[in-house]
């Protein structure tokens, strides 16, 4: 399976279990690995035969900016489902970063990574 990768999509969301997270919001970063067969698109040099990653990026940002959820696991699942709605996408790996998570010790990042497929 071929891969189309988007790294570092940034959006402000209001996800989290604490009131401050819901009120103030924070930046979330999303990495995507879309699994699909790119041969038909390459053979015909035709965007319609692959995934339009610009549209996927806009849809993912809309999910992050949209309805708040408690868990980044839930956010990752919603993002995966949006990606799988695109005809050519057979599999998706979603990594949601929460670099400003409310943790009381020094840290670089918190992530949740999921893989979902049509099968």
| Catalytic residue, candidates 10, 49, 85, 98 | 98
Give the HSE-up count for residue 19: Cα atoms under 13 Å, Cβ half-sphere.
0
* Rounded Cα distance, 28 and 15, in Å: 9
Pull the structure tokens for residue 17: 């279990």
* Rounded Cα distance, 60 and 10, in Å: 9
Helix (H, G, I), strand (E, B) or coil at 12: strand
Note if 49 is an active site residue: no
Active site residues: 98
């Amino acid at each position: 399976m071929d891969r189309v990768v988007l790294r570092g999509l940034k959006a402000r969301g209001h996800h989290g279990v604490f009131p401050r997270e819901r009120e103030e919001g924070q930046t979330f970063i999303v990495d995507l690995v879309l699994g699909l067969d790119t041969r038909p698109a390459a053979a015909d040099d035709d965007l319609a035969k692959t995934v339009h990653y610009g549209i996927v990026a806009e849809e993912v940002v809309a999910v992050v900016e949209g309805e708040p959820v408690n868990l980044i696991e839930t956010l990752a699942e919603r993002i995966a489902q949006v990606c799988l709605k695109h005809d050519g996408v057979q599999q998706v790996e979603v990594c949601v970063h929460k670099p400003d998570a409310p943790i009381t010790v020094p840290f670089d990042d918190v992530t949740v990574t999921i893989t979902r497929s049509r099968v």
